[in-house]
Structure 1
């Protein structure tokens, strides 16, 4: 009979595997995003806007799970770089909407190669990354449902 599994060992912790993988992922993106002049959090904002332009700041915060105190400086830097404009909502002046500029829309074409470069750098294919992404997202959603 083998030794019992030590479930309290750091390397057995899913939370640590996800935490350390997240840090590794952020580091892997840095050289890929540098030519675009984007940080990783700015890239996430741009991904959301490339999917759907004209969103309200709150909608982007919900999508990225970021509060406005974290999001506002990111948006100001993206605006200063000429990638987006923050515009008052015509129906509710308290609300800011984000509109990509032509420069911000053009950046999408420059970013198109990033997923494939990331997969190559990780030594796996896009299909493998997509499968892993779906599984982690499903886990995240189950955890979120259990602990809202």
Structure 2
């Protein structure tokens, strides 16, 4: 990350080279979703604290140096995980109990001057990690490209 990077409160994992930004209020399950995705092969970028910047129209996310490689797991504390350096964010998911049942297309989120697709997912769903992966494949930047 360059000195132009800004701190941002969110969680991010890297799946097949693309970043999945996880947003939601404290206690909504951002870290739990990240842990489930890591168990399915994702790699941690940052938990609850990232550095983000726009570069060439893309949103880049990297770990904050104070929390690099750490994931907060409720009832266990901060645990160390392998961590990606920087990833281009392809999709933002917002954990929201009022998420719509059906969407035809993703919304857009502007962060640091970069527009990324965004959609809401209900956090209390037993298949939430699978839904997040499917959302990345269907709505994320670069969807349909061979990975």
Q: Give TM-score, length-normalised by structure 1.
A: 0.28
* Largest Rg, 1 or 2: 1
Q: Which has the higher strand share?
A: 2
Q: Which has the higher helix share?
A: 1
Q: Give TM-score, length-normalised by structure 2.
A: 0.28
| Larger RCO, structures 1/2 (Cα 8 Å, 6+ apart) | 2
